[in-house]
Amino acid sequence: MFKKHFYFSAALLFVTAFSGNMYSQNKLEITHLTGDFYIYTTYHDFQGEPYPANGLYVVTDAGVIMIDSPWDAAQTKPLLDSIEARHGKKVLLCVATHFHDDRTGGFDELKKYGVATYSTYQTYELCIKEKNQLSEFRFNADTVFEAGGFKAETFFPGAGHAPDNIVVWFPQSKVLYGGCFIKSTDSPTLGNLGDADTKSWEIAAGKVKDKFPNAKYVIPGHESWLDGQGLEHTIKLLKKYNKKK
């Protein structure tokens, strides 16, 4: 399959964690993952409680590469400011892993500050249909974004949590960013199934496991990633759900 390449020079800097007020919808947490990788977590009200969503970014000497945006514009500017304050760098680009607003809700704000936003064409079309924010640039096939020694490889395994969900693999550091395709072991259920295809999801999760068997860090779209067992947990949840179904 053809892979389009985007090139940026890269160098590595150190940042520390930042958090806002506890239990605030505007709370922002930035957690060091490994090397030059950081997980940022923002919150959104769900049934009266703050619900976390994870995104990822990588620091380079040319700027910052981000996977997924915060929920909305109000959360996006503080994230950009926090990153720039700690790294002295601006965000170069952001890639959405599917069309829901916990992945694309900050796209308009990112574009306002010169960040190049990317999604698959399928995600773009679903965003149009659902009146969600649109990426500036689109790609069709699995795509490799290169940043001075880093490779971020997108992979579409098939429909799952959403019909358009992709995962992103960083081979040098063995980081697998799953977005909402992967459930945290903190989650006892598959969560929001409004756009899900659980039969396809089970098959697709097996494809991801086979393609990236040596993943050292596995990042779900919500809740904790610390035990690295999110993909296996997701497969177990799917098997249980599909068996009952």
Residues forming the active site: 98, 100, 102, 161, 192
E-strand stretches of the chain: 5-8, 28-34, 37-46, 49-60, 63-67, 91-95, 116-120, 137-139, 144-147, 150-155, 167-170, 175-179, 217-220
State the helix-helix crossing angle for 198-211 and 230-244, rounded to 10 degrees. Answer: 150
C-beta of residue 28 within 8 angstroms of C-beta of residue 18:
yes
Instruction: Give the Cα separation of 94 and 135 in Å (integer).
Output: 9
Question: Under a CB-based contact definition with an 8 Å cutoff, are residues 87 and 64 in contact?
Answer: yes
Token code pair at residue 176: 């697998």
